[in-house]
């Protein structure tokens, strides 16, 4: 899988990709974790805001009830009278004053009972203490959690019971004025709203650490049990921000949100320690980490796969170039080409090597084969007696006929052998037909008035490139196997024409037929490529040379004519001939 690391450009590319993927993965993971942390912190902020709103609404509700009670006091003269009796008196004095001011025809009104029923909901409300003060002392009505009422009279205003701290609660001050003379102040009401009961209402909210701090700096812990809560709350208040992070150690921090109450002179502070929050949400963060890790590994594997594929093609390209340099054109396993530039180059190089191999074979090996064939032709095809007989014919003609016959025969024979010994291996088909015609003219000299020939070849075929000296062996077969010296009409016809997708050459004679069994044997040997028998080596050499030159675009047929003689057909596909013409074979 990592074989591409051996290639420098891919090794550097992979390292760059890996660094980039890791950087992007870590960035995405960090951003995802940051978004999750922000969401969790936002949830804490929303919880704190809900808790603060709940406390504010409760305090405002109690403030409204106190205002309603004051209106109730001023609207009820009997209640005002009982309040004045309670103000500044002892218990005995309060009871005596109540009896003196009572009327037999009106019900007796009790200020403490009215407070208990109206303000404190039978002693179970948020208001746990109401005190009525003169300038020096005050009388107190208290309600416990069971609804029991207790009284304390003539306590100094400096008594700890009247100390206003957020630990005890919130104190509302209301003046008690003379109904008959509003400007005259009789005393002062102080209503204590219990912090315990107020902040108990926020227990259903999910607060990690929360506290309320008064303007004087006193802290009431609403939620949590942190030992450093008070110190942190004071630091947050001193910081002045409404929310943010506060560093608490080398790697620790808390997120805080602060709400300032403008009506009741305190601040509500909620805190979230990030370290416990992260530990609490570790499973979610671990899932995010695993998802990012799997994504990074998947991307890296995909990059490795693509780089490995490209590296394989590059190695194949280098291997192909090396094979071309060393002329090693052996077949290799076919490549699974990809549709990119590397795949195109690798495919073209493989095609180029195959073309080179084929061209080299069709050029150099053809030359070797041509030389071998010419040697065999000198040994087997051209019967030495032919030369002797021809010379004897020429001699006889010179004795019996006029000198022009002798001149034509000598000229034809000289031209034929001059063309044979030329170094050209590839010639146009028209030149090959000229060689054949010279040979056939000599045959006319040899068999006067007994042999005739016709060449009917269409002009498009004359320019086709072909191997040299293959028509003569086919014609010679006729004189060896089919010619009848006793007959007065021995005929050889060569036809050539163009069809839609191929060129056709047909050599026909009117000599002896080939026996069917012998004909089938000749066909099979040509198809299998078996070595030819001495008396048929010319036909085998012609077939081998043409097949080697034209490749799969060449085919040959051998048939008997219906009446007499043999017909040999040579078929050349246009694709094969055009391919031959497109390459420089000369």
- Give residue 380's pLDDT band: very low, low, confident or very high (50, 70, 90): very low
The stretch 303-323 carries a mean pLDDT of 74
What's the confidence (pLDDT) of residue 486? 85
Percentage of residues in the chain having pLDDT higher than 70: 80
505: which 2 tokens?
């050459």
Spatial distance between the Cα atoms of 117 and 113, rounded to a whole number of angstroms: 6
CA distances to 84, 87, 414, 451 from 189, rounded to whole Å, are: 12, 10, 153, 156
Integer-rounded Cα radius of gyration of the chain: 62
Q: How far apart are CA 368 and CA 404, in angstroms?
A: 41
Asked whether the predicted pLDDT for residue 300 surpasses 60, the reply is yes
538 versus 246: the higher-pLDDT residue is 246
Q: Which residues contact 373 (CB under 8 A, 6 or more apart)?
A: 541, 544, 545
Residues of the chain with CATH 3.30.450: 207-280
pTM check: above 0.85: no
Q: How far apart are CA 422 and CA 425, in angstroms?
A: 8
Please list the alpha-helical segments (H only) found in 244-383: 274-280, 282-325, 341-360, 366-376
pLDDT of residue 102: 66
- SS3 of residue 444 by DSSP: helix
DSSP 205: S
Among the listed ranges 398-407, 513-522, 570-579, which one has the minimum average pLDDT value? 398-407
- Distance, in Å, from the CA atom of 89 to the CA atom of 154, rounded to the nearest integer, reads 7
What angle in degrees, to the nearest 10, is found between the helix axes of 77-86 and 111-118?
110
Alpha-carbon distances of 317 from 329, 335, 357, 534, rounded to whole Å: 14, 11, 17, 49
pLDDT tens, position by position, 161-179: 999 899 999 999 999 988 8
pLDDT confidence of 541, banded at 50, 70, 90?
A: confident
Average pLDDT, the chain: 82
CB-based contact 81:178 (threshold 8 Å):
no
- Average pLDDT (455-466) is 93
Mean pLDDT of 53-73: 90
Neighbours of 71 (CB within 10 A): 10
- pLDDT of 360 strictly over 50: yes
Q: What is the pLDDT of residue 559?
A: 93
Give the whole-angstrom CA distance, residue 529 versus residue 543. Answer: 9
Query: What is the architecture of the domain spanning 383-582?
Result: 2-Layer Sandwich (3.30)
What fold does the segment set 207-280 form as a domain?
Answer: Beta-Lactamase (3.30.450)
3-state secondary structure of 132: strand
Residue 433 and residue 471 in contact, taking contact as beta carbons nearer than 8 Å = yes
Q: Tell me the three state secondary structure of residue 510.
A: coil
Say what the pLDDT of residue 560 is.
Answer: 92
Higher-scoring residue by pLDDT: 429, 336: 429
Write out the two tokens for 138. Answer: 């005050």
CATH 3.30.565.10 placement within the chain: 383-582
Nearest 10 degrees: CA dihedral of 121, 125, 128, 129?
-50
């Amino acid at each position: 899988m990592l074989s591409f690391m051996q290639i420098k450009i891919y090794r550097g590319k992979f390292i760059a990709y890996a660094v980039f993927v890791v950087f992007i993965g870590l960035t995405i993971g960090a951003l995802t974790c940051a978004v999750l942390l922000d969401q969790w912190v936002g949830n804490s902020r929303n919880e704190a805001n809900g808790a603060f709103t709940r406390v504010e609404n409760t305090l405002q509700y109690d403030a409204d009830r106190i205002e309603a009670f004051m209106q109730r006091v001023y609207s009820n003269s009997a209640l005002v009278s009982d309040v004045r009796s309670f103000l500044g008196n002892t218990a005995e004095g309060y009871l005596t004053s109540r009896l003196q001011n009572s009327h037999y025809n009106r019900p007796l009104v009790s200020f403490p009972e009215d407070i208990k029923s109206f303000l404190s909901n039978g002693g179970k409300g948020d208001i746990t203490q109401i005190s009525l003060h003169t300038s020096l002392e005050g009388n107190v009505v208290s309600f416990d959690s069971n609804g029991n009422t207790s009284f304390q009279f003539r306590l100094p205003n400096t008594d700890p019971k009247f100390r206003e701290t957020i630990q005890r609660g919130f104190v509302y001050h209301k003046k008690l004025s003379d109904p008959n003379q509003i400007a005259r102040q009789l005393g002062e009401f102080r209503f204590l709203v219990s912090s315990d009961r107020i902040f108990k209402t926020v227990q259903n909210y999910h607060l990690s650490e929360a506290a309320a701090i008064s303007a004087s700096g006193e802290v009431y812990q609403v939620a949590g049990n942190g030992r450093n809560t008070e110190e942190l709350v004071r630091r947050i208040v001193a910081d002045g921000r409404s929310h943010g992070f506060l560093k608490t150690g080398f790697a620790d921090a808390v997120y805080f949100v602060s709400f300032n109450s403008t009506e009741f002179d305190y601040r509500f502070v909620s805190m979230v320690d990030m370290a416990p929050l992260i530990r609490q949400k570790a499973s979610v963060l671990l899932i995010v980490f695993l998802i990012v890790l799997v994504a990074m590994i998947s991307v890296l594997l995909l990059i490795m796969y693509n780089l490995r594929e490209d590296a394989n093609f590059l190695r194949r390209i280098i291997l192909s170039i090396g094979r071309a340099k060393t002329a090693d054109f052996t077949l290799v396993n076919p490549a699974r080409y990809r549709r990119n530039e590397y795949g195109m180059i690798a495919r073209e190089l493989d095609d180029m090597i195959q073309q080179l191999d084929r061209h080299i074979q069709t050029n150099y090996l053809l030359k070797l084969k041509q030389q071998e064939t010419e040697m065999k032709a000198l040994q087997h095809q051209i019967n030495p007696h032919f030369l002797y007989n021809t010379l004897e014919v020429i001699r006889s003609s010179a004795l019996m006929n006029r000198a022009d016959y002798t001149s034509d025969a000598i000229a034809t024979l000289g031209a034929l052998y001059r063309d044979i010994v030329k170094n050209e291996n590839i010639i146009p088909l028209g030149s090959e037909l000229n060689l054949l015609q010279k040979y056939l003219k000599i045959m006319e000299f040899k068999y006067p008035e007994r042999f005739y020939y016709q060449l009917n070849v269409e002009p498009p075929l004359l320019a086709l490139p072909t191997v040299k000296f293959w028509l003569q062996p086919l014609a010679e077969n006729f004189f060896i196997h089919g010619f009848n010296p006793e007959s007065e009409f021995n005929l050889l016809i060569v036809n050539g024409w163009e069809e839609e997708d191929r060129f056709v050459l047909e050599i026909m004679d009117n000599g002896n037929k080939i026996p069917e069994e012998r004909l089938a044997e000749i066909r099979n040997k040509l198809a299998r490529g078996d070595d030819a028998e001495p008396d048929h080596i010319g036909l085998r050499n012609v077939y081998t040379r043409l097949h080697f030159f034209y490749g799969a675009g060449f085919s040959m047929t051998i048939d008997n004519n219906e009446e007499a003689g043999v017909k040999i057909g040579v078929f050349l596909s246009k694709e094969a001939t055009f391919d031959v013409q497109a390459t420089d074979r000369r």
